[in-house]
Amino acid sequence: MTKALIVFASLTGNTAECADIVEEALKDLGVDVETVECMQAEPEDLLDVDICIIGTYTYGNDANLPDEFVDFYEELSEIDLTGKIFGTFGSGDHFYDKFCQSVVDFSDKLASIGAVEGAESVKVDLDANEEDVENLKAFAKALVEKAESVA
């Protein structure tokens, strides 16, 4: 059975809502999935799954990573995820110049340590609308298809 781990940070609940949507979509596809907040996870946890998923918000005018995700992000450089499938999603606000920059930052970091992007990132403006829900479900499906194609 395909295994996935969703590690997320959420300040307002928007990214947590997205994580729940992705988790349910993965379960519907027969994936054994666990969802944890970033403060309860270590990068090494990603070594035990087929699909690594990061959900993050972007903070402030400078498009910063969430404070609670910085250590996890930096420690990713210490592991090798060669061949692992990854996906990233997150919430942001189009009010800011760098919309969902943390999603891009995590995608770049995961690719730099050997992981293979299995689906295009999903960026949600504030909270998920119907289109975002469908995009998150399609994101989950694409990740599973990619994981199964390399298994």
pTM attached to this predicted model: 0.97
CA distance 137 to 26: 8
Which pLDDT does position 74 carry in this prediction? 98
Domain boundaries, the chain: 3-150
Residue ranges of the chain with per-residue pLDDT less than 70: none
Which pLDDT does position 83 carry in this prediction? 94
Which pLDDT does position 62 carry in this prediction? 85
The number of helix segments (H) and strand segments (E) in the chain equals 4, 6
Which pLDDT does position 144 carry in this prediction? 98
pLDDT tens, position by position, 53-84: 999 999 888 889 999 999 999 999 999 999 99
Q: 97: closest CA among 66, 63, 73?
A: 63
Architecture in CATH of 3-150: 3-Layer(aba) Sandwich (3.40)
CB 95 within 8 A of CB 119: no
